Every structure is written in structure tokens, then in C-alpha cells.
Structure 1
Amino acid sequence: MSSFNVTVACWRGKEVKAELELKSYWGKNFVVVRKQPSLLIVKYNGDPFEAVKKLKEVVDPRYTTLLKAIPYDASVPADIEEVIKAVEKFSKKIGEGETYRITLKGPIYEFKDDDWRELPKEEAIRRIAEVIDRKVDLENPDWVVYIRSLPLRGIQQAGVSVHKPEWIFSVQQ
């Protein structure tokens, strides 16, 4: 079971108000796993893509503390091998002839020589891209492979999302 499946960005200092606003849209179908400045890390009970779609349909961007919501297919330890496995599984959504780009936020690690080391961002992206047999388009991709690494309960977790750009909620469209 995933530790989180949605991240919600909000105005700094408005995290409590953002949580109350989410309750008005999602009811009791979620828990906030962690709050940090400008970010709620959420476990939604149900399809996180449908939850974010609902926000897109009902939130008035003029009157909200919510800035952006991203749904995730899964969260895994921020270990490059675990991230690659998840990306390989979920990148099957990307059809033949469709394009993608990878967006990586936060550190990804590798266990090597009896120790964990943080991978350089470019190396992590290159290794992840090796398992996706589709064409890259950095400017106007059909799909985004979005990986966000966050500290949760003492370990670094990586949310993995393979989504179309329009599947996220953003008030700054």
C-alpha cells in the first residue's frame, strides 16, 4: 500500500486551511500523512487521479488556498531500483507513438559499496529513461513521468506518477 498518493501545494502558512478546503471537496476520503510548509502529503482513499480531477471540476481558482495537486500511481522508497521498477510498470500507459518527459523533484539514492549515496539528478533521470521505450519531448510531451522524493516517517519516499499534463490540478494554468 502506498504511503501517499497525492501532493497538494498551497500558500505558505495556509496548510490547515488547505486541509479544511480539501475536506469540503473530498469528505473523509483522505488523511494528511505529513504537513510541511506549502505542502500537504496526502493518502487518498480511492483513485487519486479521480480525486484530482474532481478538484479541477469544482475549485474556483479565484477563491482557493490550493495551488497545485498531483496524483501518484504509487509511492516507493527513494531507491533508484525501486523507482525504476515503478516507472517501468506505470509507463505502460504511454502509447506507441506518444512522447514523454521525466520531471524529478528531490533526491534519489543508490545503495553501493555498503552505503547509500545520492545520485546526481541527471544520472537518475538517464537511468529511469532507459526503461521507457518511447520518444522524449521536453517541451510538449503527451505524458509526464513525475517523480517526487519526500521525507516520510524517517525514510525518503518517492511518489511515481505517469500522467497526461492536463491531469494535474493547477490554479496557474
Structure 2
Amino acid sequence: MQRRAYASGLAALLAALSATALAGCSSGSGTDGSGLDAKTGTAAGPIAQPGRYRTLFEPCGSVPRATLREMLPAVTALPAEQRDRVLRGTAAVTYDTDRRVGCAWKADGPDAIHHLTLDFERVVSYDPSVSDETRAQEVYTTKESAAGLAPAADPGAGTPPGPATGTPTPVGPAVPVKPAG
């Protein structure tokens, strides 16, 4: 019986030594500072910045109650208890709240039924050379074109040139100034 315990200990020792030897051969530690990938012999690509957010916020609390009352006018006619339940919203079913969350509100009125649905998705790039923000922009552009929408204007670009509409804004003081005299 003693011999069997010795054999299993020897087998564990051999397994540990072989795992260490294999791990040492698969990739260099980069102590020479070359940054080369041991498998291909080429320099590793640039690493993209991680995303700004690790988790998503709670969507049912993200819309102020005043905004909900404005967007769902039928809610004001409901009894207080039912109105509070409608204004709290219904959380979307999700299995990974770090990646996708949502909330829905619904108010039935005599003239119309109003729905408001929010759905947030945190996009993660699994390609180390593509940042999460770049991947999110790619996903957005794909969904935008699939929905048949015109591309959104770049918010940093300012107002696009073109003919002015509406009334011109006067330049100078808003109140006429009386000359001194």
C-alpha cells in the first residue's frame, strides 16, 4: 500500500516538471526588451485602450420622474399606487448586467397608449488591436445603416455650412444704447 502512495506522488512531480518545461518553451518572457512574439518571430501589435466603463448604470432610475410624466401623459390620471409602479418601470430580462441592461415604461390612456423603452449595451472588443470605443462605433454604424437611417453628424464638426433658416440674430447689445449728450 505504501508503494502506491509513492507512485502517485512521483507521477504528480513528473506532471508538474513537464508542465513547467512546456510553459518555458512556449514563449519568452521578453527580458531582452525586443517585444517579439516567440511563435511568429514578429513584433506584437499595439494594444488598444480598454473601454471607459466596466459596468452599466441602473436604467430604470436613469430617467427623471418629471421627464416620464411628460412623455407618458396618461400616468397623471392613474391612482397614486399604480402611478408609482408605472414610473418605476420594468427592468429588461438580461443575463449579464455588465453588458446589457434595459427598462420599459407603459401608460395606457383613454386616447393613446404610450411606451418608452431604453436598452443599453456595453460593447467590448475582443481584438487587442481595436479599442472598445472603435468597436462600439462600428456596431453603431452597422445598426444605423441596417435601420435605414442617415449617418449622424459628427458632434465635434460644428454646424454644417448651408443656407441659414429662421430669423437672423442681431449682433450687438440687446437693448439700444442712448448716445450720451
Q: Choose between structure 1 and 2 for higher RCO, CA contacts under 8 A separated by at least 6 residues.
A: 1
* Structure holding more helix per residue: 2
The TM-score normalised by the length of structure 1 is 0.26
The TM-score normalised by the length of structure 2 is 0.25
Larger Rg: 2
